[in-house]
Amino acid sequence: MSLPRIGAILLLFAALTWAGLDRLGNVDALPALLPWIADDAAMVTEPMSPGPMNASTDDLSAALTAAAAEADELARLGAAKSRNLLEIERGHRRMTAALAAADNAVAADLPPDAQPAAAAYRDGAAAVRGAMNDAQQGFLTFDWDRVKRANAQMSDGAATLDAAARLAAGG
């Protein structure tokens, strides 16, 4: 790793640390600003393990619509080439929560007519999780080509989640 790259990483870390201390007033908030150093960073790539439950098609439709909306927002941030790490982090957390809720709805005992929507959701969720992980790694290593590829993958995943939500809604 070259000296300018190391310097840039240290400068970024210092700026984020200062922003976290200034904005939030304590160091306990830093893992919220830097999720890739937190213990719960695995949430990005691993779906939640739901307990047994029954869900209606309406519950599935609502969960998939919420996940699709969050994916569309992250795809919008990517298309705009946003470098606002706080805004991206908030979207990332909302997306992770929406995917967890949708995972629970998809894992429930669904009627047979909801299975195509569940299958499309699984494909879209895998693409979105992979895109979030790749974008995060790209930001960490200043690999903007990787971030660009992750943005394209996020857009594809968002489109698949939109299709899954339409299938769940009966359209």
- Tell me what percent of the chain is helix, strand and coil, each rounded to the nearest 5: 80, 0, 20
CATH class of 40-168: mainly alpha
Domain boundaries, the chain: 1-33, 40-168
* Spatial distance between the Cα atoms of 170 and 65, rounded to a whole number of angstroms: 12
pLDDT averaged per 10 residues, the chain (length 171)? 66 59 45 47 46 60 92 90 84 93 86 88 95 89 90 93 90 63
Report which of 4, 89, 80, 74 is spatially closest to residue 38, judged by C-alpha positions.
89
Question: In 3-state terms, what secondary structure has residue 22?
Answer: helix
Q: What is the pTM of this model?
A: 0.67
Residues 69-85 as b/e (b if ≥16 CB within 10 A, e otherwise) read bbbbbbbebbeeeeeeb
